[in-house]
Structure formats: C-alpha cells, structure tokens
C-alpha cells in the first residue's frame, strides 16, 4: 500500500470540498478499496472517510419509502430494515461474512457497482432513487455497466430511497469461492407492476428482465415464468459457470424469489 | 479405562491454550534487531527468456540495501530434488536445475526474477517496481499431453523433452496384465482428472535469515514441517554451509498439509542475504504470493481399466497417468505419482495383476508436490471410482462387489502385486461399521423424502487403504529416496524427575505436545504435566526427518518409546542399587519402582535425583545422569484403512450438492488420543470434500493462474460441512511398531473424494440420469448441471 492522507469530515459539504482534489477518493467501509490499495491497483493520495457524516448514516421510514443512508453498514440494514422491508434486510444479511457486513456500506457497494454485488439488484429491482450531494438519480439511469455508474467525479451518494413493495424477495445463488452472487435475482411486487432485477449474470452488470416482469405483472406466480428462458448472449462465462448456466439460473432464481416473496 | 492423560485418554490439547489466546509464536512473530525485508520480483508471464535486467533505478530507491539477481548466486547450487525415479527403461529421470532466482528464463507465473532487500517491506516493494526486466515471451507449455508432442516447446532447453520420466510398475507384469485383459469377461474403464489443488495453510510461508559473523553461525527461522531436512538440503546442496554452522528453527507453524515439507528458494535466499548484508533478512509471503509460489498438489490425468472374470473377481488393473511436475522438481515431487501412488493400486482388493504407467511432465506452472495424502488419494480415487462404475455396469451392488474382492481378515499379512505387504486389516469390519452408523437400511425412506421436495438423494461408498508411517529407509533408498526416513527422540530426565522430550517430528497442528507427553506419561507412570515436548529446532533435537505421510506417531512415537525404554532400563538399575535388589526384580508401576514381591520401593524422583546427585550410586557400573536418545527406523509401512459413506442431496435445477451425512469408519490401529484422532479425521474430510466439491487450481492456456485468490479458489467453509460421524472402534493393531499405531493424518483426505463423487453419481442414476457415468472434480453446481443436461 502506498502512503496516503486520511481526512474525516463531518459534513457533506466539507467532504465534497476535499473531493474536488482529483487525487482524493471517498472511503466508506474500505472492504473494496483497502484490498485494491494493498494490491497496489489503486493509490489515492487522500482518503476522505464518509463515516463521520451523521446525516449519511441510518435507516429511516419516510411514508411508503425506506431511506437508507449511504454509510449504513450491511449489518445495520439487516437489523434496522427488517421490520420495514424484510427482503432488503435479508439481502444485506447475506452479503459476505460478519466482518464485511460490519464495515461494508450501501453507498460503497453502489459506487463500486461490482457486476456480482447484491445491492444493485435491490436498487434496480425496486426502482429506488439514488440521492447524491448534487442530485437524485433514478435506478434505471444509475447503473451503466460493470463498475460503471452515473456518478460524476467527486460526487458522493448520500442516501438511497427505496419504495417499499407489497411483496419482495432476493434469491441469491452463491459463487462457491467469493460467495458473491453467481446469479442473484430481486423481485418486487408493487400495485403498479412487478420489477425483476438480475445481478451476477451479465457482462453488462445488473439488469432488468423485462419478459419476466411482464409475465409476473399479469400473474404473480412462479409458474407463470416456468416456460421463459433468458438468452445466454452477453452472460458472464468464467471458472464458476458458463453463459448457458447463468442464463438458466436467471429463470430458476427468479422463480425462487417469487416463491419466497412476502 | 485409560488413566488421565495416559494412552487412550482424550486429553485436551495443551498447545491450544497458547494458540487460542493468540500467544503462539510463529515465524512471522520473530523480529530480530536490525532486520531488513525482502520483496521478490516475480514473473508475470509463464514462459520467457530474460533478455535484460536493470536494477540501477531500484538500487537508488530509499531504504534499499541491495538488489539481488541470479548473478549473486553464481556459487550457490540449485534447490535439490530429494528423490530420483528410474524410468521403465532403467534410466534416471530428467532433472533440471532449480535456481534460487531465475537464470536466463522464467518458467512459471511467480518464478522469482530478482529480490530487493530494504529497510522496510514497502520500500522493498516500491523498489521492485522500479526494476526493469525485459522478457522475450515464449510459448507457454500448459497442457500435459501437448507438452509431450513432438516439437513441443521445451520448458528446459537443456533437457531432451518435457518428459521427466516414463515409469512402469510393475514393469515385469505388463505382458501378463495385458493378457488378463484379453481373456477378461468384463472390462471397465474410466478417464478422470485428479484436480490440481493449492494447500492454503492458514499461515503463509515465512523465512527469517540471521547471521552471526563472530561465530560464523547461520540461523534460519522458517515455516517448515521438517527443519533438519531443510538444514541438510540447504546446507549441503545449495549454500555449502556445514551442519554445525547452520541452525534451522521451525517454531509454531500454522498448518502445512505437505506444502511446508519442501526446501524453497526464499529460505535459501534469506539465509544467504543475511550473510551478505550482515543483517537479519525477513520474508513473509502474502496470500497472493502463496498461490504462485507454494508447491501445488495432485494434478493427474488418468485412464484406468479393470478386468473382471465372469464371477466378477478382479483379474487385473491397468492405468496410464500423466502427472504434472510443474516447471521444476520440488523436493519430493517425483516420488508422489510413482512410489506413493503405484504401490497403493491394489487398494483393499485381491487384484492379482497390476500395471501402472506414469508419465511425469514439465509444464510452465508452479511445481507440484505432496499434498495431504500425496499419491494415495490419487490411487484411491481411481480405484474406488472404477469399482463403483464397474458395479453399475455389471448391475451389481457396489458394496457386494467390494466385499467379494476384499482381502479377507485371514489373508494377512498380504503380499500385494505392487511390492508392499499389508500387515493387518479387516475391511469387512470397517464396511459393516460404516453401514451401521450410516443407517444404510433407512436410506430408501430418506431418498423418498428428498424426492418429494424435488431433490435427488444419493449414497456413495469408498473403502481406502493407505501406506503411512513413512518409511523403511533401506526400502525407500532402493526406490530412489536420497534420504532416510527414520525418526529420532531424546529423553532428558531432569534431577527432580521432570522430563524434557526432544523429538525429530514436527508439530504444525497435529497436537504432538499433548500426545507424545501422553505416551511417556503412560510408560513411566508420571503426570503428563511433568513432561515437556520440544521440537522444531535443529540445535537441540536429534537429527529427525519431520512430519508428513502420517508418520509422527508411528515413527516419531516409536522413537520416543524406544528412548523411554532405554531410560526406564537405566532407571531400574539405579533403583535396584538403591533398593539393594537385582535389576530384573525391579518393577516400574505408576511412577514407583518396587522390588517384586516385597514392599520395598523408591519413587521416580528418588531415582532421578540419585542419577544426578550420585552419592549413593554404582559409579563403577553406571554413568550418572538419565538421558537417552533413540532412532527408530520402521520395518514396514503402516496400513490404515477404512470405509467412508457419504449421503448427499442434489438439486437438479441448479446442480448444487449438499452433503447431509458423512460417516468415516477407520482402522487406525491403537489410538493414543481419540479426540485428536477425531480432529485429524475432521480436517482430512474437510480437505477431501473441498477437493471433491469446491477446490480447483486452474491455469488458462497462457499459463495465467485463474484461481489465484480466494475470490476464485473455493475453500471449504464450516457451512459446507455439516458435521461428521467418525468412528475408530475397528482396531487391528499394527504388527511392527511398539504402539501398534498406524497414523490418521491423511485418511480423511484420501477416502472422502471418491465417496462424494460416488454419491453424486448414485443420486443421478437413481433419478434416471444414467447417461452421467462420471463428473470430474470439483463437482461444482455448474458442472453437475452441465452433466445432467449433456
Ligand atoms: C470477503 C468479502 C465478501 C463480500 N461479499 C459480498 C457479497 O456477497 N455481496 C456483495 O454485494 N458484496 C460483497 N462484498 C463487497 C462489500 O459489500 C463491500 O462492502 C462493498 O463492495 C463496498 O463497500 P464499502 O463501504 O466497503 O466501500 P469502500 O471499499 O470504502 O469503497 C468502495 C468504492 O466506493 C467509493 N465510495 C464509497 N462510498 C461512497 C459514497 N457514499 N459515494 C460515492 N462513492 C463512494 C469508494 O471511493 C470506492 O471507490 C464482499 C466483500 C468482501 C471483502
């Protein structure tokens, strides 16, 4: 690891001011950033810790929405979202291991946008709104491919507003080594229709499965998508599974999420 | 009933107090005054010619003491290979030089090219980035069969090909084996891969070299399973340091599984650099570095065939195996696919004719050597998969086919057609025990229950034999070992009766400090707390060969028994003097010497005190003191065996396998500490199940390691392993060592992979997927799903 400066501002404005420096980088739980710094793949000169900013932390009910601060850890979401939005809490509780959940944050996960990460499925699957220091970004506009997002240089996520669905579930099939999602599907049912978001499977990162959404919107039943199959074009192929296998899992995991939704 | 802390007691592991409280003293905990740090610049290409190395910029970086390249090691030898295999034409294997730092060529990703020593590790690492290396890339040699094709690029330019050896065993039987296949009623064959593994002990390797110029003394602290072996190999063959000027210390070591047997370049480097720089030099491997520098395990490709007569008696086995050696010969690499594999191909069965052919191949990959089980898992996997396949093809019960061909209890000692003689065993008993513990009778009901949930249940069986207690020195010498395989012990009884035991075995998780003390406590009848076990330091232990091959209790423990008996003999003479009786009339019981048939006695400490304060002592006949050393060289291997049952549930939608029950019924001979034995079996099972379901070390065709971190190399975790039923009540004591013990360290890793795979095939067949006759390990969900849908 190269040497760096560490600052811990207590307001969003102060954080944004330091981040105007091109060599500065936001730092939340460090679960992604520290390993990449240790491997010398990343060498920011200034780390701007966001965890001292009170307004960015915590889970709060806002009418029909759940607002989760960007620095809220996975463990805190698993605990504090449980009574409001159990599917989100359950997803957070399945990320990594206890150490990772105690440090890792919602904002860090979304800023990183790993194609196998879990949170992107919940955010896209609920049509959540990503709130930054500068603007609000709809989930459908936010995810722009593997490790790529709509965030501008120096822009930070402050919170995410999740519309609470009538029913929802996340079904995650584990990659055997990393235990990220080999394929994970978040299904959410609203009065206006059903959303289905898939992570882990596609080279383009998290995506919505329109065909399944249409079928489930007309009948929220696992059997209604039993005949669907997702094409394997553009699916990830690696040591842990072929493109065909992942395409197959998209349907299987969607069905499992529908069955588990409550 | 065993008495507290004696043989047979489940004494808690005394070493765990320091391990579990974070007070173990590992090599990385050793920090010497003035210590400098080394960082190795390693090749990121699999094969290439080094056209230039410019270290000038690196030398000028802050904190840098020196940048080393192969030029600095011109007078040093290469890392030696400890076993020479003779091929089937009577020729010695091809043995390339294994330099400390790459000479002219790099041969695998991770091959060290240069080494920077600096004040801090970060400085060394910074400077390593400033070394300019030009490498002309060569075609990487990755696939074993392609490596042997005419005109294949050579890993070593000075060898005639990429073939290390072409070994046949038993070569004289080859024609008879072929003839048996001609006349067989049934022939069953199987092509399989034994997947390459990375040992991944919890503690990565570490080396600290130290040099005292005033005494010209070298010290190496290292994460080794066998410090004396390192002293011998490094001192005599690499750095030309005589033993009396070289001390090797392997303190607490956090797991080895074979990967810490070998002499590695980093050890020689730190020892040498400490002398050049007159400062201690330390290297601590990162986990990423471990993946590309620790010797890997397994990596065999095999075709095995079984000939059976009309009554389903096994007539002959024939195999052809390609064994990956990697880029260089690691210390014991050539012996693994040959003598530790071919001699086990009889398994538990009376197969009269066996021919094993092994082609060992150099490739541009990390060297491959022993890993928990070493050769024996590869043999067991082939036999037990093939027997299962045979039963399926013949339409007979796999248990009955095994029983029919088992060597029977009355057949022991049993001369196999592959050189070794099994002394004892009772395979029917372990099979019965396993089936009873598995509630095999209730399987069908459990299967129906799974089926109602859409899951496929299967039951897989494997019966294994292994050769442990390695090994008779004269025998292994004939087979090409360049070392003896005895073990040593010194028992130093102190004046007040406490006992310091110095063993040549090394404990890196096995619990020797507890078990060895139990043995001595039991023999003398003193409290185990008055006994201390010392190991791992060449300056105070007699020359020993270390720990691997499930040898510590069978060989190291036997040396302790021998030395303790010498101590007791002498102590009896002292007691006889004190009690004015004849030594033959003295009996030692519960730490007390008495004259048989009288009430005259003296206790242990009375005798030990007399030995060191010899006022009333037969000085004309007996030396003062009470300290004895013994070396024990076994007369045969030991042959643990056992029956393993694995019950799984398979999700046909995703291909995921869950192990619901795993039953191990082992015959380890006599048991000193049942709790530790159970723990050893648990660990072995975890690794064997890891191999069967999860672990896979994979290179791409450019020789890049695709599974170079835990993000892609799947280690078994607690929730993959729901608990095991372990039994060792079937006991046929070893006939040729004093404790009657066989060894238990590797069994779990040997017997479990075929049981798991057999269970998966069983589940698929019972559900009608009969087109699936084999799936290569690891049986990942993706592979199982692909097999079902093929
Ligand atoms: C062993 C292990 C297992 C894991 N398993 C899973 C898993 O199963 N599923 C899963 O989804 N994830 C998994 N993760 C990833 C984990 O969820 C991380 O916590 C997450 O990817 C990053 O969050 P962080 O708070 O640690 O971010 P950091 O590492 O601190 O930062 C990550 C990136 O986000 C940027 N950043 C951080 N916060 C903000 C913000 N508020 N605004 C803008 N940019 C920001 C940083 O600059 C950096 O580029 C695992 C990680 C590990 C180490």
Identify whether residues A176 and A146 lie together within a single domain: no
Find out whether B649 and B764 touch, Cβ atoms under 8 Å: no
**A174 and A257, same structural domain?**
yes
Residues A139 and A208 in one domain: no
Closest to A88 in 3D by CA, of A232, A188, A207: A188
Q: What is the mean pLDDT of each run of 10 residues along chain B (790 residues)?
A: 79 96 97 98 98 98 98 96 97 98 98 98 97 98 98 98 98 97 98 98 98 97 98 97 98 98 98 98 98 98 98 98 98 98 98 98 98 97 98 98 98 97 98 98 98 98 96 94 96 98 96 97 96 98 95 97 98 98 96 96 98 97 97 98 98 98 98 97 98 98 98 96 96 98 97 98 98 98 97
- Element (H or E) spanning B686, and its range? helix B674-689
pLDDT number for residue B5: 85
With 0-12 / 13-18 / 19 or more C-beta atoms within 10 angstroms meaning exposed / middle / buried, residue B22 is: exposed
The CATH number linked to A82 is 3.30.465.10
Q: Nearest CA to CA, how far is A101 from chain B (Å)? A: 17
**DSSP assignment letter at B92:** B
- Asked if A63 and A153 sit in the same domain, the reply is yes
Residue B344 DSSP class: G
- Residue B781 with chain A: CB contacts under 8 Å: 173, 176, 182, 241, 245
| Structural domain harbouring A106 | 54-163
Alpha-carbon gap, residue A196 to A168, rounded angstroms: 10
pLDDT (tens digit per residue) in A8-24: 999 999 999 999 999 99
Among A96, A128, A163, the domain-final residue is A163
End-of-domain residue from the set A104, A129, A163? A163
CATH number of the domain to which A17 belongs? 3.30.43.10
Domain boundary residue among A163, A197, A232?
A163
Q: Chain A: nearest CA to B711, how far in angstroms?
A: 4
Q: Which residues of chain B make contact with A252, given a CB cutoff of 8 A? A: 653-654
Burial B719-749 (b: 16+ CB within 10 A, else e): ebbeebebbbebbbbbebbbbbbbbbbbbbb
**What ipTM did this prediction achieve?**
0.96
The single-letter DSSP state of residue B575 is H
Report the alpha-carbon distance of residue B515 to residue B9 in Å, rounded.
Answer: 9
What pLDDT is attached to residue B1? 43
Question: What three-state secondary structure class fits A13?
Answer: helix
CB B660 within 8 A of CB B722: yes
Least CB–CB distance from B780: residue in A39, A176, A252? A176
| Residues A145 and A241 grouped into a single domain | no
By the 8 A CB rule, do B282 and B37 touch? yes
Tell me the shortest Cα–Cα distance from A16 to chain B, in angstroms. Answer: 31
CB atoms < 10 A from the CB of A22, how many? 11
Instruction: Indicate whether residue A109 lines ligand 1 (CB < 6 A).
Output: yes
Residues of A with CB under 8 A from a CB of B: 1-2, 39-40, 173, 176-178, 182, 238-242, 245, 248-249, 252
Whether residues A204 and A252 fall in one domain: yes
Same domain? For A58 and A159 the reply is yes
Judgement on whether residues A58 and A117 belong to the same structural domain of the protein: yes
* All domains of chain B in start order, with CATH: 15-23+486-632 (3.30.365.10), 31-138+202-255+260-293 (3.90.1170.50), 296-470+636-788 (3.30.365.10)
CA angle, residues B368, B422, B554, in degrees to nearest 5: 65
A239 contact residues in B (CB cutoff 8 A):
696, 698, 706-707, 712
DSSP A39: T
C-alpha to C-alpha distance for A24 and A16, rounded to whole angstroms: 10
The pTM assigned to this predicted structure is 0.97
* A229 & A253 share domain: yes
* Residue A60 and residue A149 in one domain: yes
* Mean pLDDT (chain A, rounded): 97
A31 and A131 part of one domain? no
- In terms of DSSP bridges, do strands B36-42 and B281-284 run parallel, antiparallel, or are they unpaired? parallel
State the total domains in chain A. 3
Instruction: Compute the average pLDDT of residues A26-34.
Output: 98
CATH number, residue A172: 3.30.390.50
The CA distance from B117 to B109, in Å, is 21
Same domain? For A200 and A126 the reply is no
Among A32, A49, A137, say which to mutate for ligand 1: greatest number of ligand atoms within 8 Å of CB.
Answer: A32
């Amino acid at each position: 690891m190269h040497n760096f400066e560490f600052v811990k501002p207590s307001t969003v404005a102060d954080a944004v001011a330091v981040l105007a420096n091109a060599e500065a980088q936001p730092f939340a739980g460090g679960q992604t950033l520290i390993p990449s710094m240790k491997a010398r793949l990343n060498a920011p000169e200034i780390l701007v810790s966001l965890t001292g900013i009170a307004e960015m932390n915590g889970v709060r009910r806002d009418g029909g929405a759940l607002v989760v601060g960007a620095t809220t850890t996975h463990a805190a979401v698993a605990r504090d979202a449980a009574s409001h939005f159990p599917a989100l809490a359950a997803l957070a509780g399945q990320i990594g291991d206890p150490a990772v959940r105690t440090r890792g944050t919602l904002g860090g996960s979304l800023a990183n946008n790993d194609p196998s990460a879990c949170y992107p499925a919940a955010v896209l699957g609920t049509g959540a709104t990503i709130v930054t220091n500068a603007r609000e970004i709809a989930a459908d506009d936010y995810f722009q491919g593997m490790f790529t997002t709509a965030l501008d240089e120096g822009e930070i996520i402050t919170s995410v507003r999740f519309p609470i669905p009538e029913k929802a579930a996340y079904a995650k099939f584990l990659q055997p080594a990393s235990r990220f999602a080999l394929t994970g599907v978040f299904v959410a049912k609203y009065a206006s229709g059903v959303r289905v978001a898939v992570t882990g499977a596609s080279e383009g990162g998290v995506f919505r499965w329109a065909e399944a959404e249409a079928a489930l919107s007309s009948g929220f039943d696992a059997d209604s998508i039993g005949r669907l199959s997702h094409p394997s074009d553009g699916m990830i192929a690696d040591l842990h599974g072929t493109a065909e296998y992942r395409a197959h899992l998209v349907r299987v995991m969607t069905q499992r999420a529908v069955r588990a939704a409550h | 009933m065993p008495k507290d802390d004696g043989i047979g007691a489940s004494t808690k592991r005394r070493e765990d107090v320091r391990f579990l409280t974070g007070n173990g003293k590992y090599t990385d905990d050793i920090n010497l005054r003035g210590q400098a740090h080394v960082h190795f610049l390693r090749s990121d290409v699999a094969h290439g010619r080094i056209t230039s190395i410019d270290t000038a910029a690196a030398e000028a970086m802050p904190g840098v003491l020196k940048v080393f390249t192969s030029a600095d090691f011109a007078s040093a030898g290469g890392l030696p290979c400890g076993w020479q295999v003779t091929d089937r034409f009577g020729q010695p294997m091809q043995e390339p030089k294994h330099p400390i730092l790459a000479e002219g060529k790099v041969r695998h990703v991770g091959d060290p090219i240069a080494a920077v020593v600096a004040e801090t590790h970060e400085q060394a690492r910074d400077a390593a980035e400033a070394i300019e290396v030009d490498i002309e890339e060569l075609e990487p040699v990755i696939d074993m069969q392609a490596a042997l094709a005419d005109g294949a690029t050579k890993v070593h330019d000075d060898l005639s090909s990429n073939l290390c050896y072409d070994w046949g065993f038993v070569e004289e039987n080859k024609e008879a084996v072929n003839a048996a296949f001609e006349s067989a009623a049934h022939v069953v064959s199987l092509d399989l891969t034994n997947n390459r593994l990375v040992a991944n002990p919890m503690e990565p390797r570490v080396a600290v070299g130290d040099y005292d110029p005033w005494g010209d003394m070298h010290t190496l602290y290292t994460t080794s399973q066998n410090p004396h072996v390192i002293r011998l190999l490094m001192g005599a063959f690499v750095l030309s340091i005589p033993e009396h000027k070289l001390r090797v210390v392997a303190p607490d070591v956090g797991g080895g599984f074979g990967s810490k047997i070998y002499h590695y370049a980093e050890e020689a480097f730190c020892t040498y650099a400490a002398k050049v720089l007159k400062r201690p030099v330390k290297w601590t491997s990162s986990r990423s570095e471990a993946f590309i520098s620790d010797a890997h395990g397994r990596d065999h490709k095999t075709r095995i065939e079984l000939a059976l007569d009309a009554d389903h008696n096994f007539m002959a086995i024939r195999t052809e195996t390609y064994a990956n050696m990697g880029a260089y010969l690691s210390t014991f690499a050539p012996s693994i696919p040959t003598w530790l594999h071919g001699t086990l191909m009889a398994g538990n069965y009376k197969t009269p004719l066996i021919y094993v052919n092994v082609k060992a191949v150099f490739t541009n990959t990390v060297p491959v050597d022993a890993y928990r089980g070493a050769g024996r898992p590869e043999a067991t996997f082939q036999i037990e998969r093939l027997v299962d396949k045979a039963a399926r093809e013949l339409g007979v019960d796999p248990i009955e086919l095994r029983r029919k061909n088992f060597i029977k209890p009355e057949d022991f000692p049993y001369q196999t057609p592959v050189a070794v003689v099994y002394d004892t065993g009772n395979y029917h008993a372990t099979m019965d025990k396993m089936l009873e513990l598995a509630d095999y009778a209730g399987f069908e009901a459990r299967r129906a229950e799974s089926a109602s949930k859409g899951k496929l249940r299967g039951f897989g069986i494997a019966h294994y034999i292994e050769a442990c207690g390695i090994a008779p020195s004269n025998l292994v010498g004939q087979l090409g070992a360049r070392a003896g395989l005895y073990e040593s012990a010194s028992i130093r009884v102190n004046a007040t009766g406490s006992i310091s035991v110095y063993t040549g075995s090394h404990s890196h998780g096995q619990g020797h400090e507890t078990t060895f003390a139990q043995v001595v406590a039991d023999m003398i009848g003193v409290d185990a707390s008055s006994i201390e076990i010392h190991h791992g330091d060449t300056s105070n232990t007699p020359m020993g060969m270390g720990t691997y091959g499930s040898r510590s209790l069978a060989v190291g423990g036997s040396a302790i028994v021998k030395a303790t008996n010498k101590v007791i003999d002498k102590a009896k003479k002292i007691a006889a003097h004190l009690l004015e009786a004849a030594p033959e009339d003295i009996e030692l019981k519960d730490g007390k010497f008495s004259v048989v048939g009288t009430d005259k006695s003296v206790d242990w400490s009375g005798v030990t005190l007399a030995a060191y304060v010899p006022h009333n002592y037969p000085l004309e006949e007996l030396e003062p003191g009470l300290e004895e050393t013994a070396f024990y060289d076994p007369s045969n291997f030991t042959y643990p065996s056992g029956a393993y049952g694995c019950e799984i549930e398979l999700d046909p939608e995703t291909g995921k396998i869950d192990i619901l029950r795993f039953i191990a019924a082992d015959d380890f001979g006599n048991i000193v500490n049942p709790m530790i034995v159970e723990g050893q079996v648990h660990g072995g099972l975890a690794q064997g199940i890891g191999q069967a379901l999860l672990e896979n070390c994979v290179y791409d065709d450019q020789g890049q390691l695709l599974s170079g971190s835990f993000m892609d190399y799947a280690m078994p975790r607690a929730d993959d392993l729901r608990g095991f039923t372990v039994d060792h009540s079937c006991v046929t004591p070893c006939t040729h060592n004093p404790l009657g013990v066989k060894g238990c360290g590797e069994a779990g890793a040997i017997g479990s992979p075929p049981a798991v795979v057999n269970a998966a095939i069983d589940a698929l067949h019972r559900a009608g997927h009969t087109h699936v006759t084999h799936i290569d390990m690891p049986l990942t969900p993706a592979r199982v799903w692909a097999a079902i849908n093929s």
